[in-house]
Structures are given as structure tokens and as C-alpha cells.
């Protein structure tokens, strides 16, 4: 028996003796857990978005032009990609030939469905043919209704589980909180390591 197999066998034996079911693990008891809540989830989400998550936030009022807001936020953008009806985009992620075309995009605009106050995460279901727009663009803009903000991840997952709209056409969705960043290499903070270099959340009234 190799050293690897010996270690794995001991782990299996110890797991079984600890009361774990064969081939699996006991699930934690969450019945005594009280998820965090806030007096004003929207205010908490806004605060964490611009602090903990390191993203930008724009409040959109009724009658505001989304396309104009994005152009003002990114005046130097040469290429904007989106399939949202309120945006006159240069590239449509529903009609590109390959996902690689989105790597040349400066700003991508997508719709978020749920905002989470406890960690500033936004649930973004795939609502376009090429989901690479969420990750491959330089700057990502997420449009999120204020009414879609919940207190915690427990509430967010409950909404996802209860919704009939997610995963019908596309079988993908992701939570995103702030721009992509890492400090693993030589202790230097790098933005855009795995996805967009910057993130802006546009909060709408409905």
C-alpha cells in the first residue's frame, strides 16, 4: 500500500468512527443560526459596496438615461457591450460569433437580480448567450433594483430557489462582489486578475 492510500484509508476510518455516514459527511445543524439582518438593508448594501467590496455605486433616479449615466461614468470607453434594451451598445453578447470578441470590450453592462447587504454580493443570472461579458470586459456595470436587496445570503438563496425565472434558458448564474483582485503575487494588489478590473453598481428605483 502506498503512503497516499494509507493516509486516505486512515481518514476514512477516522471519519466513520466520528459518526460520518459512509462516503459522506454530516451536514451542519443550522436550526440555531440566526442570519444577520439590518434596519436598512439598502443603506448597508450601498455602504459595503463602496467600502468592503471596493466598487463604485451610482443611484439612478426615475427618468434618468442609463446609457448617458454609463457614458458619463466611463467617458473614455471605446466599446460598450450589453443586451439591455435601455443601452445602445456597440456589441451585443447575444449576437457575437465567439466569446473571445468580448475580451476587446471596455465596458459591459448586465442586469443583477439580487443584492446582498451583508457582503455587497450581486446575483447575476446568465441572461445573454455569451456569459463571458460578466468576466472578460475591462469594466463591469451591474444594474440592480433597490427593491431586490436582501439582508443576507440565506435570503438570497431562498429567492433563487423560489424563482421560476432563473436557469430556464441558461443554466448559469454567479455572485459578484466588487472588482476582481488578488495580492498573491509578491504581495502586490492587482486588479483584473480573474475578471473585470472595475465594477460599478447602478441602483435603480424599481
Distance CA 36, CA 194 (A): 30
Q: Considering only 36-50, 105-119, 172-186, which range has the smallest mean pLDDT?
A: 172-186
CATH number of the domain within which 159 lies? 3.40.50.10420
Q: Which helix (H) or strand (E) holds 191?
A: strand 190-191
Same domain, residue pair 1 and 51: no
pTM over 0.85: no
Number of domains in the chain: 2
Distance CA 99, CA 76 (A): 23
Q: Which helix (H) or strand (E) holds 5?
A: helix 3-17
Same domain, residue pair 182 and 137: yes
| pLDDT confidence tier of residue 17, bands split at 50, 70 and 90 | low
Same domain, residue pair 166 and 122: yes
Same domain, residue pair 103 and 187: yes
Parent domain of 100:
34-204
Same domain, residue pair 145 and 126: yes
Same domain, residue pair 7 and 92: no
Same domain, residue pair 135 and 188: yes
Same domain, residue pair 79 and 41: yes
Buried/exposed code over 181-194 (b: 16+ C-beta within 10 A; e: otherwise): eeeeeeeeeeeeee
Same domain, residue pair 168 and 183: yes
| pLDDT confidence tier of residue 179, bands split at 50, 70 and 90 | confident
Same domain, residue pair 120 and 141: yes
Can you give the length of the chain in residues? Answer: 206
Distance CA 141, CA 89 (A): 13
Give 137's strand partners.
none
Same domain, residue pair 53 and 88: yes
Same domain, residue pair 137 and 119: yes
Per-residue pLDDT tens digits for 68-84: 999 999 999 999 999 99
Amino acid at each position: 500500500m502506498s503512503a497516499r492510500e494509507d493516509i486516505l484509508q486512515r481518514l476514512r476510518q477516522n471519519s466513520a468512527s466520528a459518526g460520518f455516514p459512509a462516503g459522506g459527511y454530516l451536514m451542519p445543524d443550522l436550526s440555531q443560526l440566526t442570519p444577520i439582518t439590518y434596519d436598512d438593508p439598502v443603506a448597508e448594501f450601498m455602504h459595503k459596496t463602496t467600502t468592503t467590496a471596493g466598487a463604485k455605486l451610482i443611484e439612478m433616479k426615475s427618468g434618468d438615461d442609463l446609457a448617458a449615466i454609463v457614458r458619463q461614468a466611463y467617458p473614455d470607453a471605446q466599446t460598450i457591450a450589453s443586451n439591455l434594451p435601455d443601452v445602445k451598445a456597440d456589441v451585443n453578447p447575444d449576437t457575437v460569433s465567439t466569446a473571445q470578441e468580448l475580451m476587446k470590450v471596455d465596458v459591459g453592462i448586465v442586469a443583477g437580480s439580487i443584492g446582498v447587504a451583508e457582503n455587497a454580493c450581486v446575483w447575476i443570472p446568465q441572461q445573454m448567450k455569451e456569459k463571458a461579458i460578466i468576466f472578460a470586459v475591462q469594466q463591469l456595470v451591474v444594474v440592480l433594483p433597490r427593491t431586490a436587496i436582501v439582508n443576507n445570503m440565506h435570503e438570497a438563496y431562498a429567492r433563487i430557489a423560489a424563482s421560476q425565472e432563473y436557469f430556464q434558458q441558461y443554466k448559469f448564474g454567479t455572485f459578484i462582489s466588487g472588482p476582481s483582485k488578488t495580492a498573491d503575487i509578491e504581495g502586490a494588489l492587482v486588479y483584473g486578475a480573474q475578471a473585470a478590473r472595475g465594477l460599478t453598481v447602478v441602483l435603480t428605483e424599481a
